[in-house]
Amino acid sequence: MRKFTLNIFGIGLILVFFNCMLFFIANEIYFNKYKFKESRKFHSFIFADSHGKCLNIYGESKGICNLSAGYESYFDMNRKLKYLIQHNYVIDTIYISVDDHLLSPIRCKNNNLDRSIHYSTALEFDHYFEYFFLKYINYYLPIFNFRFRVVLKKFLKSQADFYLFNKNSQLNQNAWIKFSEQDRIRFAKSTYSVSYPYYQRSKELTASFLDIINICKSKNINLIGVKFPLSRNLIEVLGNSNYGADSILKANGFPVLDHKLDFVNDDCYFRDVDHLNNTGGKEFAKKLFSITTKIGSN
């Protein structure tokens, strides 16, 4: 019995040590990277998924803070907006992505709810246990956090590629132009099948998006929809597929800047089928912020 107890204790110590190690890694590469550096100098914010990350910090000189994040959903953007308001930020303008896929039911599963919980409160939940689990269990016990395990796997692969195989991640910025036309079409079809698995948009995401719109109306916040550039191959595959976030925003009296076709002839601006590389991001930022500055001055 004593030996059994010692074995259990030893296994427990190993698990605690392993979880502590994962906790520090999770904070470094997953949770902390999601949190934005709070500053009262910003009065405009960009809400977008990974498509918006190409804008980097190019808008900061104009007082625009980029809150874009991979897998971001309208659930997460809603939380961020409410957090900014609750913490008395003076908000002039929200630039929000209204890309065709953002109301896809797939975003009900693939989102940042485990990270945007940082910007939430228990009052938003019907059951406190759900809030407690997301806020504390997922955070302090990353060993149980599925999303983090996926991110960790990608991180370890990238580190192995760099240190063991001498693959420079910067080279991936220009990967799209190196693919054959056949491969590009294959990637476009794969992206389509993942992002548009259903004919109807998500009711839950639509409700959250409408909540954002209504909050902006009630707080007199300028809301500007943005559709980010896509590669020629993806546009050809997508056709008229659209879950309609842009139409909802227009119907509520807010402008939409459609840049989806801006770089269809500039494959060198893309790092993959639907994300701009650093060069493309700089060019798009110049175009976007020059237009939105004019809108804001009217």
Give the pLDDT confidence of 163-174 residue by residue, as tens digits: 555 555 544 666
Hey, where are the domains in the chain? 40-297
DSSP element (H, E) containing 165: none
pLDDT in tens, 258-278: 999 999 999 999 999 999 999
Average pLDDT, the chain: 87
pLDDT in tens, 2-18: 666 766 767 777 777 77
Q: Can you tell me the mean pLDDT for 119-126?
A: 86
Instruction: Report which of residues 222 and 157 the model is more confident about.
Output: 222
Q: Residue 172: its pLDDT value, please?
A: 66
User: One-letter amino acid identity for 63?
Assistant: G
**Which position has the token pair 């945007």?**
116
Res. 84: pLDDT tops 90: yes
Q: Is 108 exposed, middle or buried (0-12, 13-18, 19+ CB in 10 A)?
A: middle
DSSP 70: T
User: One-letter amino acid identity for 236?
Assistant: E
Q: Is 224 exposed, middle or buried (0-12, 13-18, 19+ CB in 10 A)?
A: buried
User: One-letter amino acid identity for 262?
Assistant: D
What is the pTM assigned to this prediction? 0.87
Q: Which fold has domain 40-297?
A: Rossmann fold (3.40.50)
Q: Can you tell me the mean pLDDT for 286-292?
A: 83
pLDDT band at 202 (very low <50, low <70, confident <90, very high): very high
Q: Residue 282: its pLDDT value, please?
A: 94
